[in-house]
Structure 1
Amino acid sequence: MGHSVVFAIEVYFNKEPEQSIRDLWISIEEMHPLTSLNAIEGARPHISLAVCDVKTPHNVKQVLLRQRNLAPFPIRFDAVGCFPTTGTLFLSPVMSTPLWLIHEDIAWTLSQSGIELLPYYRPQQWTSHCSLGLNLYGTNMTTAFERIAQIFVSLSGKVTEIGIIEA
């Protein structure tokens, strides 16, 4: 039996919000270097629409064929939040119809291919977010949250791309 691979389907933003989010990554990196997304080679600011553990990666890649002509849509981030149990600090986008629909479509398409999403990414359980820092626990989360709350201003832009990564 073959081994499984974890894949994430992500959406990416146009230049302005991407750079603003990278600036927030750097701000966190200055305080807590080991939690930085900025230090991950090839990392881009994104929203993960689906994460799945599969034995047949081809099936996941087929899902992207349905979305390859993604029409850009507006995105706005107005809030900062955290997942305390995973130590994740994030920006929370305003939920829009296009964001909700693309998530639902991908979840449905994957399920039709027999691919199950990891629990946090399933419909009715998904919290849309753009990660700013990882593994921030206790006072590290508190100081990072305070820093971001002091410098964050609402971000607007567009979702312009969709992609898949091996997580």
Structure 2
Amino acid sequence: MTQAVEMFFDDQADKRIRRMWRSLADHGLPSLATRTHRRHRPHVSLTVAETFDEADLDKLRSALLGQAPPLNLGFLGTFPGAEGVLFAGVTATAELLAFHKSVHLALPGHQVKHWPHYLPGNWVPHCTLAVALDRAELSKAMNVMHGYEPMVATVSGIGITETATGTITPLLA
């Protein structure tokens, strides 16, 4: 079981990301619209762990009350390696990095085993568009997304998502 603490977007940004997912799918490419349980919501993950069952969610909710800063999805990117991930990258502002760190301080490591790529100092804030792309698909996906226009998303809610099912436990609405 894997869970993620995710920031969800305002309606306008949510719709725009969903259109991007559909565009990829319409071109025969896997996107989050067609992946696994098909219940994905556009989001930026603050942390991922096997479980948050032992976490003090009241402490986490208190940390989340400090308003999440706007998310500037300013560029497209990929991660190194063979996994083939395409994402809309979020500018890592000082305010966003401080918010991210406050979430991790509210979830001490001895209770939660965070995935290393989501720890402060390692985190690359992003909104996933597609995963499991081979080289040709990644190239095609970049061509489909050519002309991408940056957007600013307002965080409309934060929750813990069970990644296998898409079930969300709201933390902040």
**Structure 1-normalised TM-score?**
0.85
2:51 pairs with 1:65: no
Q: Aligned-pair distance for 1:68?
A: 5.1
- Residue pair 1:80, 1:149 contacting (<8 A) in 2 also: no
- Asked if the contact 2:68/2:99 (under 8 Å) is kept, the reply is no
2:83 corresponds to 1:105: no
The number of residues matched between the two structures is 160
Q: Partner residue of 1:22?
A: 18
More displaced stretch, 96-105 vs 16-25: 96-105
> Aligned residue for 1:163?
159
Name segments (4+ residues, structure 1) moved above 4 Å: none
Q: Which moved more, 1:98-107 or 1:61-70?
A: 61-70
Tell me what 1:92 maps to.
89
**1:82 matched to 2:78:** yes
- RMSD across aligned positions (CA): 2.0
3-state SS of 1:12 partner: strand
How many angstroms does 1:60 deviate by? 6.0
Tell me the TM-score normalized by structure 2.
0.82
Residue 165 of structure 1 deviates from its aligned partner by 0.8
Question: Structure 2 CA distance, aligned partners of 1:22 and 1:147?
Answer: 14
| Residue in structure 2 matched with residue 37 of structure 1 by the alignment | 32
Contact 1:88 1:131 in 2 (8 A): yes
- Unmatched segments (≥5 aa) in structure 1: none
Supply the distance in 2 between the matched residues of 1:72 and 1:124 (Cα, whole angstroms).
18
Residue pair 1:72, 1:161 contacting (<8 A) in 2 also: no
- Structure 1 vs Structure 2: percent identity of aligned residues? 25
Q: Structure 2: which 5+ residue stretches go unaligned?
A: 164-173
Q: Secondary structure at the match of 2:73?
A: strand
Equivalence for 2:128: 131
User: For 2:150, which of 150, 154, 166 is the aligned residue?
Assistant: 154
- Which residue identity does 1:83 align to in structure 2? F
The counterpart of 1:114, out of the listed 111, 115, 122, is 111
1:110-154 per-residue CA deviation (whole Å, 9 max, x = no partner) reads: 12653221111111111111000111121000010121123x111
Cα pair 2:54 2:112 within 8 Å, conserved = no
- Cα deviation, 1:48-92, whole Å, max 9, x if unaligned, reads 0000123x6141644542245352532211110011422110001
Q: Which amino acid aligns with 1:37?
A: L
